[in-house]
């Protein structure tokens, strides 16, 4: 009985010693973080030290997928500010987040007693690109169909959806599937009337950018073309000059020659008279 009691006491003491040694180890915990583009990100670091030990330095750096530090430290307790990086209550603050900030971040501590520990976690950056609406101009006639497509749907997290179509600055009601058979990433407008003319936009959303925080596309214009009928006109045939008949030409030339001959005769008679010459002789 006494041996059993001593055995159990030894087991309890060993267990307490193990727990005490485990709890006394220097440990670091880093929480994964998320942030949206242009906002601030916070990476949280917590640590525990052995009894009677104290912190010597805490540092943040980028890390690879195995947790090894990449490059020099971003901030330390001795240098708490570095451009967009700063240290606040042992946490890493990144201002004006960009997509390139998505990475692993490692928190490492070293103590006065010569102990050290580190851990890392990933920062996920959420973003949403401005969608592109095409075509930017669409010309259609009455009762025909127009189609606009919302492209460049890129972002994180996924999925990215087009939840709202805008016409002339106001949400477009697309519940009439006969009029709008497609209204997701592609808007199809059937049986076009004059009221369909205007400026159109699409709004893309994801879990991080929803509702009015979604991204509006460029504007695209729908123009109605009215068909007009131009009456046909009858034009006179083109004028083609024709040569006069040969008989006309011959008669005209003969008349001119006769007239000239008569004039010449009279001129001859006049000259003879002036000189006293007998221009005409009478034969006996």
DSSP one-letter string for 114-149? S-EEEEEEEEEEEEEPPPEEE-SEEEEETT--EEEE
What was the pLDDT predicted at 227? 73
| Cβ–Cβ under 8 Å, residues 129 and 138 | no
C-alpha 30, offset from chain centre: 37
Q: How far apart are CA 214 and CA 268, in angstroms?
A: 114
pLDDT tens column, 99-149: 999 999 999 999 999 999 999 999 999 999 999 999 999 999 999 999 999
What was the pLDDT predicted at 45? 98
Q: How far apart are CA 165 and CA 176, in angstroms?
A: 14
With a cut of 80, say whether residue 240 has pLDDT above it: no
If you search the block for the tokens 């530090």, which residue do you land on?
A: 69
Q: How far apart are CA 150 and CA 181, in angstroms?
A: 16
- Nearest CA to 92 out of 78, 66, 114, 74 is that of 74
| Cβ–Cβ under 8 Å, residues 59 and 78 | no
Q: How far apart are CA 149 and CA 154, in angstroms?
A: 15
C-alpha 94, offset from chain centre: 28
With a cut of 70, say whether residue 174 has pLDDT above it: yes
What are φ and ψ of residue 113, in 5° steps?
-80, 5
Residues 6+ apart with CB under 8 A from 121: 30, 31, 32, 33, 43, 104, 105
What was the pLDDT predicted at 17? 46
Q: Full-prediction pTM beyond 0.75?
A: no
The whole-number average pLDDT for the span 57-82 is 97
pLDDT tens column, 241-277: 655 555 444 454 455 445 555 555 556 555 555 666 5
CA distances from 191 to 108, 219, 227 (A): 66, 22, 15
C-alpha 265, offset from chain centre: 101
State the pLDDT confidence band at 226, using cuts at 50, 70 and 90. Answer: confident
């Amino acid at each position: 009985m006494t041996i059993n009691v001593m055995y159990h006491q030894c087991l309890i003491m060993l267990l307490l010693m193990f727990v005490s040694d485990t709890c006394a180890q220097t440990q670091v915990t880093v929480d994964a973080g998320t942030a949206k583009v242009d906002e601030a990100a916070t990476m949280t670091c917590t640590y525990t030290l052995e009894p009677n030990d104290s912190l010597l330095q805490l540092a943040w750096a980028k890390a690879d997928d195995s947790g090894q530090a990449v490059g020099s430290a971003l901030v330390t307790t001795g240098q708490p500010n570095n451009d967009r990086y700063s240290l606040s209550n042992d946490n890493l603050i990144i201002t004006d987040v960009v997509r390139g900030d998505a990475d692993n971040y490692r928190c490492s501590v070293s103590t006065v007693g010569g102990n050290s520990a580190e851990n890392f976690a990933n920062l996920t950056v959420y973003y949403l690109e401005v969608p592109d609406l095409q075509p930017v101009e669409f010309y259609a006639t009455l009762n025909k169909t127009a189609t606009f497509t919302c492209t460049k749907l890129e972002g994180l997290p996924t999925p990215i959806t087009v939840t709202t179509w805008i016409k002339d600055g106001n949400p477009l009601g697309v519940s009439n599937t006969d009029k709008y058979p497609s209204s997701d990433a592609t808007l199809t407008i059937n049986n076009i009337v004059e009221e369909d003319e205007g400026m159109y936009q699409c709004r893309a959303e994801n879990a991080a950018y929803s509702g009015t925080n979604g991204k509006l596309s460029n504007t695209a214009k729908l123009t109605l073309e009215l068909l007009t009928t131009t009456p046909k006109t009858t034009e006179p045939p083109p004028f083609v000059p024709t040569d006069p008949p040969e008989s006309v030409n011959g008669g005209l030339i003969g008349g001119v020659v006769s007239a000239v001959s008569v004039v010449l005769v009279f001129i001859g008679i006049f000259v003879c008279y002036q000189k006293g010459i007998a221009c005409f002789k009478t034969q006996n």
